[in-house]
Amino acid sequence: MANDQWTPGVVSGRLPADQLAENFGDLHPLMDAHEALVAADRCYFCYDAPCVTACPTSIDIPLFIRQISADGTEGAAKTILEQNILGGMCARVCPTETLCEEACVREAAEGKPVEIGRLQRFATDTLMARGVHPFSRAATTGRRIAVVGAGPAGLSCAHRLAMHGHDVAMYDARAKSGGLNEYGIASYKTVDGFAQVEVDWLMKIGGITVEHGKALGDALTLDGLSGEFDAVFLGIGLGGVNALRATGEDKEGVDDAVNFISELRQASDLSSLSVGRNVVVIGGGMTAVDAAVQSKLLGAENVTMVYRRGKDRMSASEWEQDLAAQKGVRIIYGAMPVAVHGNGAAQDVEFEYTRDAGGKLEGTGETFRIPADQVLKAIGQTLDGVPDDLEISGGKIAISGAGRTSLEGVWAGGDCAAGGDDLTVTAVAEGRDAAEDIHQALSA
């Protein structure tokens, strides 16, 4: 599209519908059966496989790949789902390039790992397409557990508790279950509404009820839940957003990247979404990459990511950084925002170059400006809405063991809990492990 056809400002409809559909197609299309067999054949089926150690949910990767090779796809899927009940979504969004695939012996020997993530998706998608739910509930125990937050940690916890025969009541502030899987991950990673497909499939275990539009607060208190239920699990994520701490961040056109992604994920018509001509995304994590790439795919002419530290310090993987570059996103390292300029609405962002001074980041005094009619903040989220008597560590809920909090009978996991990585796969593992600990505590 020629530059003189671009509309300035933050507007909708920058690209035609057919172009948007192509741009937001599946990033890693599902393998067919032949492709899966060829990919599986590359696995060495290592003893003490390093890929298993690198997986936060400890999936027996060589076993499920061997099962695919033997045409036992449903068995492969069950092997995955026994450890990771959200194995379908994790196959799509997990940074396998820094976890299991980075640890793969093939990666060390050849620089080309076994495609573990895509094989995992092949197995789980095949099982789900057949309408199969390979798990059943144990005899009802009569115990009732409240799970607050229907994101990856809460869903994982609820499913495992239901398997053990407990009754689970889930509460979530949003209109849909799924948490970040539904609201916070790039659309091209989870096409065709897969997040809700997976939630609906998970709920087939039975014994789980969900009430939406309910968050911890006046109507739903931790004291009240603890009095009504035998145990409580908190998987509430991080509801607050860090401030930019730059002059002018309240100007029109400045928004949180999580809001931008959420709006995109819930849109029924991508052409109705507004995007700037010049977009600046501030941050260096997965959310920043997702927001930047999707801005470009929506039709932004210039998209720039700016991160305050060096390339090696970015929490977004090198693969994600390369993806952004391939999509036309410019990445600037070592600069922090100073001010958003404009007469009411953002026109440009002023940055100051940074340097590492003995482990402490400091400005150099040298500044530059980038034109921006849309500024997206992706500088981290904060814990919000928890009771004062719950112990906090490093801005998150303090836990010990498998998610036990400072309050008797209350467990926590996922992004809201201290100590773990902010990854879907880690949240699933923490929810699962907390459920096992709750079950043991209630069975004692």
Cβ burial 127-156 (10 Å sphere, 16+ → b, else e): bbeeeeeeeebeeebebebbbbbbbbbbbb
Assess whether pLDDT exceeds 70 at residue 6: no
What pLDDT is stored for residue 429 in this prediction?
97
Q: What pLDDT score does 444 carry?
A: 84
Average pLDDT of the residues of the chain: 94
pLDDT of residue 3 exceeding 90: no
Checking if the pLDDT of 7 tops 50, the result is no
**Could you report the per-residue pLDDT of 40-54, keeping only the tens digit for each?**
999 999 989 999 999
Q: How far apart are the first and last CA of the chain?
A: 67
Average pLDDT over residues 264-288: 95
| Domains of the chain, CATH where assigned | 33-129 (1.10.1060.10), 144-239+383-443 (3.50.50.60), 241-377 (3.50.50.60)
**What integer is the mean pLDDT of 428-439?**
98
Q: How many Å apart are CA 194 and CA 29, to the nearest integer?
A: 13
Q: Express each pLDDT in 200-211 by its tens digit.
A: 999 999 999 999
DSSP string over 94-118 = S-GGGTHHHH-HHHHHHS----HHH
Residue 25 in tokens:
């197609």
- % the chain with pLDDT above 90: 91
pLDDT at 254 over 60: yes
* Token pair of 439 as six digits: 């079950």
Flag whether pLDDT at 374 surpasses 80.
Answer: yes
Residue 178 · residue 216 · CB < 8 Å: no
pLDDT band at 70 (very low <50, low <70, confident <90, very high): very high
Average pLDDT over residues 80-95: 97
Predicted local confidence at residue 4, as pLDDT = 38
Would you say residue 313 has pLDDT above 80?
A: yes
Q: Assess whether pLDDT exceeds 60 at residue 2.
A: no
Mean pLDDT of 140-149: 97
Q: Report the run of H or E that residue 371 belongs to, with start and end.
A: strand 360-371
CA pair distance 406, 400, nearest whole angstrom: 8
At 8 the pLDDT is 60
Pairwise CA distance, residues 232 & 225, whole Å: 7
* Mean predicted confidence (pLDDT) in 375-381: 94
Residue 414 has pLDDT above 80, yes or no: yes
pLDDT band of 422, cuts 50, 70, 90: confident
pLDDT of the residue at 42:
96
- The 10 Å CB-count burial string (b at 16+, else e) for 49-81 is bbbbebbbbebbbbbbbbbbbeeebebbbbbbb
Residue 111: predicted pLDDT: 94
Q: Spell out the residues 6+ positions from residue 428 whose beta carbon is closer than 8 angstroms to its own.
A: 56, 57, 84, 85, 86, 90, 152, 153, 156
Question: Residue 152: pLDDT above 50?
Answer: yes
Question: What is the pTM (predicted TM-score) of this model?
Answer: 0.94
pLDDT bucket at 421, cuts 50 / 70 / 90: confident
